[in-house]
């Protein structure tokens, strides 16, 4: 009996000790992490850097003159930034000058005809008042 009791006591004691070891291991703090240190350096650094690359416009436009005709000169280069009101094309104006001269001649002819008609109306009006022309 005593041997059994001693063996049983030894077993119980070993179970208790094993249970205590687990709780102590769970509550223990984790080991400190390994870190490295470096000496402080003082030096100047650049705030920018240059890179090679290509860019492409989000939007593009096709430039065309407002009027038809022969283009004498293109006043911009592809990819150049242009401003509002900047002359982009120089168009041969000979055909427009000829049309302007024709229109001016037609206007002068119409003014002359209007003046002649007014003179004729004034003359006829005088003749009607003097009863030299029938009404």
In a domain, residue 132? The reply is yes
**pTM over cut 0.75:** no
Match 């000496």 to its residue by tokens: 39
In a domain, residue 39? The reply is no
**Phi, psi of 39, deg, nearest 5:** -75, 150
In a domain, residue 108? The reply is yes
Tally of structural domains, the chain: 1
Residue 22 has pLDDT above 60, yes or no: no
pLDDT tier for residue 63 given thresholds of 50, 70 and 90: confident
Residues 80-109 as b or e (16 or more Cβ within 10 Å = b): eeeeeeeeebebeeeeeeeeeeeeeeeeee
In a domain, residue 25? The reply is no
Beta bridge partners of 71: 91
What is the average pLDDT across 85-105? 93
Output the six-digit token pair for 126: 């005088």
In a domain, residue 104? The reply is yes
Residue 18 has pLDDT above 60, yes or no: yes
In a domain, residue 4? The reply is no
Q: What is the CA radius of gyration of the chain?
A: 54
In a domain, residue 102? The reply is yes
Cβ of 117: how many Cβ atoms within 10 Å?
A: 10
In a domain, residue 100? The reply is yes
Residue 123 has pLDDT above 80, yes or no: yes
Task: Return the C-alpha torsion angle 131, 133, 134, 135, nearest 10.
Answer: -90
Residue 32 has pLDDT above 70, yes or no: yes
* Parent domain of 122: 87-135
């Amino acid at each position: 009996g005593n041997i059994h009791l001693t063996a049983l006591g030894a077993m119980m004691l070993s179970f208790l000790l094993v249970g205590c070891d687990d709780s102590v291991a769970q509550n223990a703090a984790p080991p400190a992490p390994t870190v490295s240190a470096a000496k402080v350096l003082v030096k100047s650094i650049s705030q920018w850097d240059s890179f090679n690359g290509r860019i492409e416009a989000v939007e593009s436009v096709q430039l065309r003159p407002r009027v038809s005709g022969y283009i004498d000169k293109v006043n911009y280069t592809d990819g150049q930034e242009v401003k509002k009101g900047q002359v982009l094309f120089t168009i041969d104006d000979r055909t427009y000058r000829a049309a302007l001269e024709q229109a001016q001649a037609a206007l002068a002819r119409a003014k002359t005809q209007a003046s002649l008609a007014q003179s004729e109306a004034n003359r006829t009006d005088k003749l009607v008042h003097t009863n030299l022309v029938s009404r």
